Amino acid sequence: SKSTSELSIKEKTKKKKIAVMTSGGDAPGMNPAVRAVVRAGIYYGCDVFAVYEGYTGLVEGGDLLKKMGWEDVRSYLSEGGTNIGTARCKEFRQREGRLTAAYNMVINGIDALIVCGGDGSLTGADLFRSEWPSLIEELVSSGKLTTKEVEPYKNLTIVGLVGSIDNDMSSTDATIGAFSSLERISEMVDYIDATAKSHSRAFVVEVMGRHCGWLGLMSGLSTGADFIFIPERPPKAGKWQDDLKKVCSRHRNKGKRKTTVIVAEGAIDDELNPITSEDVKKVLVDLGLDTRITTLGHVQRGGTAVAYDRMLATLQGVEAVRAVLETTPDTPSPMIGILENKIVRQPLVEAVKLTKSVADAIESKNFNKAMNLRDSSFEEAYNQYLATSIHDDESQLLPEGERLNIGIVHVGASSSGLNAATRAAALYCISKGHKLYGIQNGFSGLIELGNLKELNWLDVEGWHNKGGSEIGTNRSLPSENFGNVAYYLQKYQLNGLIIVGGFESFTALYELELNKKKYPIFNIPKIVIPATVSNNVPGTEYSLGSDTCLNQLVNYCDAVKQSASSSRRRVFVVEVQGGHSGFVASYAGLVTGSIATYTPETKINLRRLQEDIDLLFTVFENDRGEDKNGKMIIRNEQASTVYSSELIADIIKESANGRFETRTAIPGHVQQGFTPSSMDRVNSIRFAVKSCQFIEKWNEKIGQAGDISQSSNINFIRNLEDSDEGSVVIGIQGAQINFTKINTLYEHEADVILRKGKTIHWDNMAKISDLLSGRLLLKEEK
């Protein structure tokens, strides 16, 4: 992706007239995308038009093309669906329709089009661009337009935004709307689970995804489904019925009181025969299970977008405008994607072609190819589904000598994802024949009571969607009594330790690593799974629980904003968690459309406050009375020791002189959890399985030493022990899962005093927030 400084874009470009539309099936996040395009367009000095009703708006023109002002997209962030409408437009598929569309664009002076939709919409957009010169020629030759009129419109700029709940587009890791839809599905299955469990029933849940099993696979993981059917991994024709029966009855025999099977709309067997929910139901009934089908249908369109989709749509919308301003007639049309957590521009045509080739691969029964064409994490997720749902038979058991004892401990404040990660680790261990010991009540529990409990299959059943910590968590550290920690790890002959938690877990690991010469048992491989709402663990850009926290904040802020609708003109100072890390505040500020965000990184001072008060005056002045909602200011709990949330609210109120009033709002512990978000659940499984595999690999290395009585082998072990590579933090950096040595992180990456990492990977969010709140514009006008 190209990054161009704000100013250079503004100086270089002549004013463009950009049209933005949403097309195809609606997806949560389309409204935030339109908001971002409209405001970024205006910021960069362009005229922005909304095309209503998808391509129909272009073909019909007239009132369906509307110039948008800054205020027109207020409140778009929190609204589901698409406010500017979408449609399937037959006329646009014909050249005749596209000719009229071209005419309407020229007479409105529009020379760039940003389309937010699925692969069909983007294919149409690209076709439109390639035909454009010939369409213009025809408009002139038929006398509809003069040569002079078309002179400035020789070329059409097209930029694609991928809005689709299916997450089916190649060249991007996530499409706008997919995570919202996944969240809704997971929520619905949670509801169904409750009744299934009550009646000891089986439920077949049908989810969307004609050619793409992403929703099926991810919802299977996040809901702890017994079995899934997705188009990319079709089961053997005639044989799947038996496999399904085996798995479900095995789970029942272990004591599970419910059965959940997820069927993607496009599920097939390997002979391409469709597998319908009815087919699956018959098999389960045959097994003697009281079985019901729930077809989720349009609830999956999702309603209001989750935090992640609001973030994605917002950052991508701004990038789309930049791309419009930077592409030349020779550059291929870009599609805005996200790869490795970075917003990128990809050639649109190739992305669409690749996407189509997945469907082709499935049709020609080349399922491995279909799988490979999906991004790398798809296959990995599929394997994790196998490991946690299917392989609890004896098929994957390791030979006796290779089975391990692994301990898992929760450290620090509660967050969502602790249980989900523990469950996944337990299920993986059971599939391999390892034992997973849950250390009860943190390190102090271990030190005082040596309380370790082997976690069995049924113990962890249902933990995938349970917030809090079942085995108990607290902030105690091993340094409270290293001797006892060593004693109990030794007593249970642990071969590895998983520490799940926030910054304390990081400190705990470092302490163990530092003391391994004195306590040889500390030489076992040890790994931290970052789990904290603050996302302040060095070595990762993401921690379990942070997504749940952001979703909680989004809901909280939407509610608080709306509460002002009767009184009008109210500003809320919302105080969010995050310790000394501004991640949560910056992210929340971006996705709730806050007027100002105060973080420990940016600090608060009088000048900054004055600027924000000025901005509030402008915002309320421009308010034409349609927007009844309150305005937000987000303040991180540690942003300043002087400017408390109350003080900020009082200062603003005093300056407002009766023009508007202020309130503080502190969501507090609501941020730590409740039901984990589907993203946190899926990542819990990723982290847990990978962590167990890390411990396995390390033990394999030790195993390779063979007979320790041989001196060369003793040296081998010593070398392993001298190495600090067995103590790591697992994390996501970009799209990759990484293991980083605790020593490296502690010495170079950690700010131990402020309890956070030194790398600020979220500063772009603050910049875009300022752009979209109008802060930058106001500053420049002055």
Binding-site residues for substrate sit at 164-166, 201, 208-210, 265, 292, 298-301
Task: Give residue 651's identity as a one-letter amino acid code.
Answer: I
> Cβ closer to ligand ATP: 301 or 631?
301
The upper half-sphere exposure of residue 748, i.e. CA atoms within 13 Å in the direction of its Cβ, equals: 7
Check 72, 126, 166, 173 and give the catalytic one: 166
Active site residue 166: yes
- Tokens at 254, concatenated: 């272990």
Name the minimum Å distance from CB 148 to ligand ATP.
29
Residues 238 and 181: beta-carbon distance below 8 Å: no
Distance CA 452, CA 457 (A): 16
CB of 60 to ligand ATP, least distance (A): 12
Please enumerate in sequence order all residues whose Cβ is within 8 A of that of 371, keeping only pairs 6 or more positions apart, or say none: 232, 233, 378, 379, 382
Lookup: tokens for 379: 């296959």
Report the distance separating Cα 241 and Cα 261, nearest Å. Answer: 12
**What is the distance between the alpha carbons of residues 119 and 163, in angstroms, rounded to a whole number?**
9
Smallest gap from Cβ 121 to ligand ATP, in A, equals 3
The residues binding ligand ATP (CB under 6 A) are: 23-25, 55, 88-89, 92-93, 117-121, 123-124, 127, 164, 166
Q: How many residues does this entry show for the chain?
A: 782
DSSP H helical segments within 111-234, as ranges? 119-141, 147-150, 178-199, 214-222
Least CB distance from residue 33 to ligand ATP, whole Å? 14
Q: How far apart are alpha carbons 208 and 223 in whole angstroms? A: 16
| 546-580 b/e (C-beta count within 10 Å ≥ 16 → b) | bbbbbbbbbbbbbebbeebeeeebbbbbbbbbbbb
| Sequence ranges of the binding site for ATP | 25, 88-89, 118-121
Cβ 266 to ligand ATP shortest distance, Å: 12
Nearer to ligand ATP among residue 211 and residue 345 (C-beta): 211
Cα distance between residue 254 and residue 250, in whole Å: 6
What residue has token string 């669906």?
81
**386/366 Cα distance (integer angstroms):** 21
Residue 274 DSSP one-character state? B
What is the DSSP track for 508-576?
Answer: HHHHHHHTTTTSGGGGS-EEEEEB-TT---TT-S--BTHHHHHHHHHHHHHHHHHHTTTT-SEEEEEEE
Residues catalogued as catalytic: 166
